[in-house]
Amino acid sequence: MSIRTSAEIENLARDMRLAALEMSFNCGHPAHIGGALSMMDLMAVLFGHVMENVGNKDRFILSKGHAVLGLLAALYRTGLITIEDTKTFQTDGSKFIAHPIMNLEKGIESSNGSLGQGLSMGVGIAISYQRLKKAGNVFVMMGDGECYEGSVWEAAISAIEQNLGNLTAIIDCNGHQNDGAVPDGMSFENMYEKWRGFGWDTVKCDGHDVPSLMAMLKPKGGNRPVAIIAKTTKGKGVAYMEDNNDWHHNRISSKLYSEAVKSVMRA
C-alpha cells in the first residue's frame, strides 16, 4: 500500500484505532490497548506510506510485543489479514493472542513477549540483507520502558559496528510502562541523547504529527542506523484513556467502548 496524502494517512490511523478497539472489546478479556493506541500514527505512516512489499522487501518487527493490537490493526487495515482473522483475537485456539507469534503468512515477522528482543532480530535481518546485497529496510518498533533492557544496547552497539544503514529503530515514548511512569533516565529528551551517544543517526519528533512523520520515516540511505525518538501519548485518540496508565492492560465495557468510538471519530 502506498498512500500519498497526510489526510489519507490520518484516516488510516483513525480506522486502525477503531479496529484495535473493536478487537479489544469483542474478545471479552483485558487487552493491552493504551500502548497500541500511542503508536498508531507511526504504524499508519509505516504501513500506509513508507514500507514496500512488506515481509519481502521491507520488514517490520514489533519489539514492544504487548502492543500487538497496533500491529494487527495495521495488518488488517492494509489488507494483509482479514476481518475474520481479527475476530479471533484472544479467543481459544487463535493464532492472535496478547503478544505476537511469528506467522510469516499473516505478516507477523517475529514472536515477542519478553521485552528487549526485537532490535537484536532486526540487526540480524539487516546484516543478512547487506551480505545478500538485498534491497530493503528493517523497521523495529520499541517502547521507552523497554529500553531498560540491556539487550537493547548490545544490539545498538552491534548495529553501529556493522554499519547498518538499512535499519531503523522507532522508540514510542509514551512515558508509561506496566508498573507506572517511565523514570527520568529514559525520558523523551534523555532517550534522544542516549541513542545519539551510541552513534545512531538520531532524530526526535511528535509521534502524532502525520505530515512530519511521512517525511521523517522514509529511509535516507547512508551507513548509520536511524533512531526515531517519538513523543507520544498513551491511549491517544480516546479521551478517557489518554495519558492514563490504567489502560495499559484493561477490559473495555460496552459503555466505555461506545465512548471510545465516539472519541476517535471526533478526534
Q: Model confidence over 175-223: pLDDT tens digits?
A: 999 888 998 888 999 999 999 999 999 999 999 999 999 999 999 889 9
Q: What is the mean pLDDT of the chain?
A: 95
Cross-strand pairs, 142: 171
Say what angle helices 68-77 and 6-27 make with each other, to 10 degrees: 120
Quote the radius of gyration of the chain (alpha carbons, Å): 17
Q: Which residue has the cell 479471533?
A: 88
Query: For residue 266, what are the CA distances in angstroms to 8, 56, 126, 262?
Result: 16, 37, 40, 6
Looking only at Cα atoms, what is the longest distance across the chain? Answer: 53
Helix (H, G, I), strand (E, B) or coil at 143: strand
Main-chain dihedrals φ then ψ at residue 152, nearest 5 degrees: -60, -45
pLDDT at 224 over 90: yes
Query: For residue 121, what are the CA distances in angstroms to 68, 220, 264?
Result: 17, 22, 34
- 3-state DSSP helix/strand/coil % of the chain, to nearest 5: 45, 15, 40
pLDDT at 226 over 70: yes
33-64 pLDDT tens trace: 999 999 999 999 999 999 999 999 999 999 99
Residue 178's contacts (CB-CB under 8 Å, 6 or more residues apart) are 66, 145, 248, 249
Q: From the CB of residue 168, how many other CB atoms can be counted at a distance below 10 Å?
A: 26
At 183 the pLDDT is 87
Question: Residue 11: in which H helix or E strand, if any?
Answer: helix 6-27
Q: Which CATH superfamily is domain 6-266 in?
A: Thiamin diphosphate (ThDP)-binding fold, Pyr/PP domains (3.40.50.970)
At 1 the pLDDT is 63
Query: For residue 51, what are the CA distances in angstroms to 43, 182, 228, 252?
Result: 10, 30, 15, 32
Query: For residue 123, what are the CA distances in angstroms to 73, 130, 152, 266?
Result: 25, 11, 11, 40
Cross-strand pairs, 214: none
Residue 239's pLDDT band (cuts 50, 70, 90): very high
CA atoms of 257 and 250, how far apart (whole Å): 12
114-129 pLDDT tens trace: 899 999 999 999 999 9
